[in-house]
Amino acid sequence: MAPPRLTGALRSFSTVSKQDDSTHDLYDLKTKRLKRQEIFARDGLTWQKIVQFFTQHLEKKDQPAATRELKNILQAAKHIVGTDFGQDTIESAGVFLFKTFHNKDQISHEETRAIKQMFGPFPASPAESCCAAVGRLVAQIGESQVDAFIQTQSSLKTVNSGSVFGRNIAFSFDAYALDAHDTMPWSEETDMDQALDF
């Protein structure tokens, strides 16, 4: 249960706060993940572009292997997102997995968390086989070339810390705390008694 707070009482009983029913959440984790997938699907990098990139940059003899790996990635994506979704969602998940694994040898905690953030709990083996497939695919062309391709195609920018509000503002995590000296009277330890332009 939420601890009792002065401001909780004021929100409930005074007339100076917005009176709305904030007891239910507007969105849950599932909705949030879908929204995240939707935002990601708007990215400039698409599955077609990935397929095209490998078709253009590989010699004909290497293409069957690449096609096999691309299929493997999509297959893994299907296992991760679930069977209820259409081809667009699966391809979008394939793009996400390709982007996530393109410069990784194995799945670390960071990648696991990123995939879970996007799709929720997922089985480990498709993720591992996907990571391996992406590794084999990228090895055919070279990591730096794939990196450059992803950079030029992606329209979703990662947050640039240089443009974030407050980046230069010193912030302290100090918080009001109980005085450690106020121990019980019978305890042995104590004798009882930057400049923002507003």
Write out the residues near other proteins by the rule CB under 8 A: 2-11, 13-18, 22, 25-29, 31-32, 35-36, 113, 116-117, 159-160, 163-166, 169, 171-180, 182-185, 187, 193-194, 196-198
Q: Which is nearer to other proteins, 115 or 133 (CB)?
A: 115
Q: Which is nearer to other proteins, 13 or 83 (CB)?
A: 13
Nearest distance from residue 11's CB to other proteins, in Å?
A: 5
Nearest distance from residue 168's CB to other proteins, in Å?
A: 11
CB 70 within 8 A of CB 137: yes
Q: Which is nearer to other proteins, 84 or 179 (CB)?
A: 179
Of 127, 187, 149, 192, the residue nearest 51 (C-alpha): 149
- Could you write out the DSSP letters of every residue in 88-147? HHHHHHHHHHHHHHTT-SS--HHHHHHHHHHHSS--HHHHHHHHHHHHHHHHHH-HHHHH
* Spatial CB neighbours of 42, under 8 Å, sequence gap ≥ 6: 155, 156
Q: Which is nearer to other proteins, 18 or 60 (CB)?
A: 18
